[in-house]
Each structure stands twice: as structure tokens, then as C-alpha cells.
DNA sequence: GCCGAGGGATTGTTCAACAAAAGCTTAGCC
DNA sequence: GGCTAAGCTTTTGTTGAACAATCCCTCGGC
């Protein structure tokens, strides 16, 4: 069985990535510890794990807060994703067949979820698709990096006004990239991926800036 | 002032990367805590930080051990470094001048250390050079990743039989890459970097396998 | 209105204790 | 003799309490 700290971190991670704990929320050691039935020490261990994933920010002597993504974070995340996922696409020629199948499966999962109008699941499938792209590099460290980036990304997703408007346009583009990949047209796939990530980055940035304006207004 | 856990982790990190704590060494909570004058709780926090950098491996209910790099680790580290450092080289055209200067400075530091026959410093300068290459991407996350990879890499350096034989051949190649970069010949620089990392990877692997054989012998 | 002192709340760190797991020893059996 | 298994020992996992250090807010003085 996983350790208590691990389980506590997992639970908090889920709450954060699902938006139940909004960015900027302060996570009090005493209150949370009591609520979750763990000691302060254990909770602090869990915080360390989450801080490592950049889901919370630890400010010394002040506490830990649910991470609030800034413009620089978004652009950086997308820049790194571009680097890592592109590397995966370029490595697709030498990747085992199973990895390519995982890409296709993620696309199908997304389409199925869209048919069921389950936009939360569409988001999950989308992240799985990009994780699968990175996995084409067959590098456990790249897998880890990308998993962290995508978890962080969820911080942005969770605060999106409409999951549907955000995810729907990208379903078809995922399909396009996957098809280009299975057809062996890696260069075309890489180009499509670049454009995809650029557009997605802009969309997220727009939504973020809209949010910041709304916050400043009142 | 940094927290006690942070300082403890830094001290241990230095001991590990300098080879004072050999790979495979078990780090007992009680013994180490007493030796370093910190409580078990604080030490556990420090362990988390080090585990995050992959300098130690945490085996549940068994303890933490100084990481022992395997063949798969070495190849993975070099593969990821290739991806990240290449991305930096490709971005060199748009990088601020200061970043390019940092690359040149790292090369010069390495040459100066070689003149002084300080091979430990040569190793440090070498890592700084590669960190500077990655920094050309102007991405804080890539910087973080590379810093972790290079710290992990030191685990391999520390067990090298001869620092000099290992580092000396790469001094000139660092210079070559830096010169190609400042000349704006990024494609040539990227090619040189690829060959460099391939050769370095092979060298480290050879040394590692030699070590494994020596261990198994008796 | 600005500045500093004081108080309250929260985190940082330590200690002591017990539960839980892993590894070693020893006893018993075939 | 070698193997299995129970029991013991050691170490980690987790908790609770305690105190110091730090930050933040409030209150008072100027």
C-alpha cells in the first residue's frame, strides 16, 4: 500500500487538478491536517510532493498555496511541451508499435468522450494524447517531465470558462496529427503539432488574461 | 536563511556529487540525523528533496540509498540531454547575447581549470557549459530539468577512475561548439553536439560496465 | 496619514512514542 | 544437512505535542 503521505498528496492533487481547490487557495497545515485525518508532519511531506510537481507553491514561513499560473508559466509550459513532444514525433520512426497505438487510442478515447459530451473526459484524453506523443521518445525522464507539465497544465484547464469550447476544436487536430504519424509523415506531423501548440497556447493565454482583467475590475 | 531541511539536503548533495558517499550507501535516518544534528523529521524532508533530484532512491519501508546509476539511466540521461541541449542550440539565434556569453565563459573557465590541472573544476565547468547550452532556450523549466540531469550525471563522474582522462578530450570539443555558435553556424554546432554527447555517453557506459565487471569478479 | 510596538496566528523544527514492515536469528522438522 | 517458519531486532512510517521563529495585523503614538 502506498504511504499515507503519498495518498494524501494524490487526493490533494485530484482536488487541485479538478478545480475543487482554486488557484491561490491557502492550504493551512492545521486545518487541512484535521480535515484529512493526518498529522501535520505527514501533510508537510505531501506538500513537498505537490510542490515538486509545481501544483502548489511553498512560500517559506507563509505556507503553501495552490499554484496560480502566470503568463510566463503558460508560455514556458507550451515552449517545453513543444520541445518534448516534437522530439517524440521525430522519434516515432524508431518507436515500438505499441507506443504508436497508444497515441491512436488516446485520440479515439477523446472522440468517444466528445460523443458522450463528457468534456472533462475529453480533457483527460487530450492530455493522454500528448503524453503518448512524448512517450514516443522512449525516455522515462521525458515521460516524467511531460506528466508534470500536463498536471500543471490542468491548473489552467480547471479555470477555463467552458471546457467544451476549449477542447472541441482540438479533437480534430489530434486526429490529424495521429493520422500523419501512422502514415509515417513525421515532418508534416511535427508541423501540425507546432501549429496546434501555438494556437492552444494563445487560447489559454487569452482566457487567462480575461480572467486577470475580471479580477482587477472590482 | 534557507531552512534546515534545505541546508541538510545541500550538504548531502555535495557529499554525494563529490563521491564522499558512494552509490548504494544506505542513509540511515537515525545515524545521519544524529551525525548532522537534525531531527529525523527534518532529515526526511531533506531526503525528499534529494529523491526529487534522483540523487537518492527511496525504497518504502527499507530506507533511502545513494542512487546507483544503471546502464538504462546513463543512456536515458544522455538522450534527454541531447534533446534539451539541441533545442537550446537551435534557439541560439533568438537568445539574448548574455546567454551566448555565458556559454563562452564556461568554456574559458574549463580551459583555465585545465591549465591549473584542477580536473574537478574542469568537470564543474563542463557541466556549466552544458547548462548554458540548455539555457539558450530561455525556459526556466528546461533549466531546472537540465540542472537535475547534470547533478545526476555527477553520480557517474564521481565514480570515474580518472577525471583527467575523462574530461580532457572534451575541452577542445566544447570550444569548437562554442565557436560554431558564436559564428552563427547553429546546424554545424548541433551536429558537433550530437557527436559529442554520443561519444561521452559511450565513454561513461564503458567505464560503468568495467566497474560492474570488477564488482562481480570477487 | 505614517510609523513602530505588540500580540496573535502560522509555520519551522525538535522530541518522544508507538505501529508497521523488513531482515535476521533460531528453533524445529524432514 | 538443509529447509521452513516463528520470533526477535532493527528501521522506517506516522502521530501528537511542544517550543522557537517568523509573519501579519492591529493598535497606539506622533
Q: Report pLDDT for A120.
A: 86
Half-sphere exposure of B110 (CA within 13 A, CB side): 26
B108 has pLDDT over 90:
yes
User: Nearest to residue B107, comparing CAs of B180, B174, B17, B26?
Assistant: B174
The C-alpha angle A99, A102, A108, rounded to 5 degrees, equals: 155
Averaged pLDDT, B39-57: 91
> How far does the CA of residue A57 sit from the closest CA of chain B (Å)?
15
Interchain contact B62–A (C-beta under 8 A): no
Residue in chain B nearest A54 by alpha carbon: B141
HSE on the CB side for A104, CA within 13 Å? 11
pLDDT digits (tens, 9 = 90+) for B167-210: 888 999 999 999 999 999 999 999 999 999 999 999 999 988 88
Shared domain check, B89 and B54: no
Do A78 and A56 reside in the same domain of the chain?
A: no
DSSP for residue B162: -
Looking at the fold, whether B151 and B50 belong to one and the same domain comes out as no
CATH number at B35 reads 1.10.10.10
Q: Closest Cα to residue B125, out of B181, B163, B83?
A: B163
Q: Residue A192's domain is classified under what CATH number?
A: 1.20.120.530
- Whether the predicted pLDDT of B54 surpasses 60: yes
- In this structure, are A106 and A22 located in the same domain? no
**Co-location of B98 and B18 in the same domain:** no
Provide the pLDDT for residue A217: 47
Strand C closer than 7 A to residue A25 Cβ: no
Lowest mean pLDDT among A187-191, B67-71, B74-78: B67-71
Confidence of residue B214 (pLDDT cuts 50, 70, 90): confident
Q: What is the pLDDT of residues A104-140, one digit of tens each?
A: 999 999 999 999 999 889 999 999 999 999 999 999 9
Distance CA B215 to C1' D1 in A: 31
- Residue B111's domain spans which residues? 71-216
CB B129 within 8 A of CB B110: yes
Q: What is the pLDDT of residue B120?
A: 86
Residues B185, B146 share a domain: yes
Percent of chain B whose pLDDT exceeds 70: 98
- Confirm whether any atom of chain D, the nucleic acid strand, is less than 7 Å from CB of B1: yes
Is B79 in the same domain as B186?
Answer: yes
Nearest nucleotide, CA A61 to C1': C11
Picking from A20, A50, A66, the residue at the C-terminal end of a domain is A66
Domain final position from A66, A94, A115: A66
Phi, psi of A38 (to 5 degrees): -130, 160
Q: Are residues A85 and A134 in the same domain?
A: yes
- Tell whether B60 and B79 lie within a shared domain: no
- For chain A, what is the domain count? 2
Q: End of a domain among A66, A85, A110?
A: A66
B73 confidence band (pLDDT: 50, 70, 90): very high
Q: Are residues A113 and A180 in the same domain?
A: yes
Across chain A, mean pLDDT equals 92
Average pLDDT over residues B70-76: 95
Say whether both A84 and A166 belong to one domain. yes
Report the mean per-residue pLDDT for chain B: 92
Give the model's confidence band at B160: pLDDT under 50 very low, under 70 low, under 90 confident, else very high: confident
At A58 the three-state DSSP class reads strand
Residues in chain A with pLDDT values less than 50: 217-218
B194 touches strand D (CB under 7 A): no
Q: Are residues B112 and B203 in the same domain?
A: yes
Query: Chain B within 8 Å of A49 (Cβ-Cβ)?
Result: yes
Spatial distance between the Cα atoms of B76 and B80, rounded to a whole number of angstroms = 6
Amino acid at each position: 500500500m502506498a504511504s499515507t503521505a503519498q495518498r494524501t498528496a494524490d487526493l490533494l492533487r485530484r482536488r487541485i487538478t479538478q478545480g475543487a481547490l482554486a488557484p491561490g487557495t491557502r492550504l493551512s497545515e492545521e486545518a487541512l491536517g484535521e480535515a484529512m485525518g493526518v498529522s501535520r508532519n505527514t501533510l508537510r511531506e505531501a506538500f513537498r510532493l505537490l510542490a515538486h510537481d509545481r501544483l502548489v507553491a511553498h512560500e517559506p514561513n507563509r505556507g503553501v498555496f495552490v499554484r496560480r499560473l502566470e503568463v510566463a508559466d503558460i508560455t514556458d509550459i507550451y515552449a517545453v511541451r513543444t520541445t518534448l513532444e516534437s522530439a517524440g514525433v521525430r522519434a516515432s520512426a524508431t518507436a515500438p508499435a505499441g507506443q504508436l497505438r497508444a497515441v491512436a487510442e488516446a485520440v479515439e478515447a477523446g472522440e468517444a468522450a466528445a460523443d458522450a459530451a463528457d468534456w472533462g473526459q475529453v480533457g483527460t484524453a487530450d492530455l493522454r494524447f500528448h503524453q503518448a506523443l512524448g512517450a514516443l521518445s522512449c525516455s522515462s525522464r521525458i515521460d516524467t517531465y511531460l506528466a508534470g507539465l500536463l498536471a500543471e497544465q490542468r491548473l489552467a484547464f480547471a479555470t477555463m470558462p467552458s471546457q467544451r469550447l476549449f477542447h472541441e476544436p482540438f479533437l480534430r487536430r489530434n486526429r490529424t496529427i495521429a493520422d500523419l504519424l501512422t502514415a509515417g509523415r513525421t515532418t508534416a506531423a511535427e508541423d501540425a503539432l507546432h501549429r496546434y501548440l501555438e494556437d492552444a497556447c494563445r487560447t489559454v493565454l487569452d482566457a487567462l488574461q480575461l480572467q486577470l482583467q475580471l479580477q482587477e475590475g472590482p
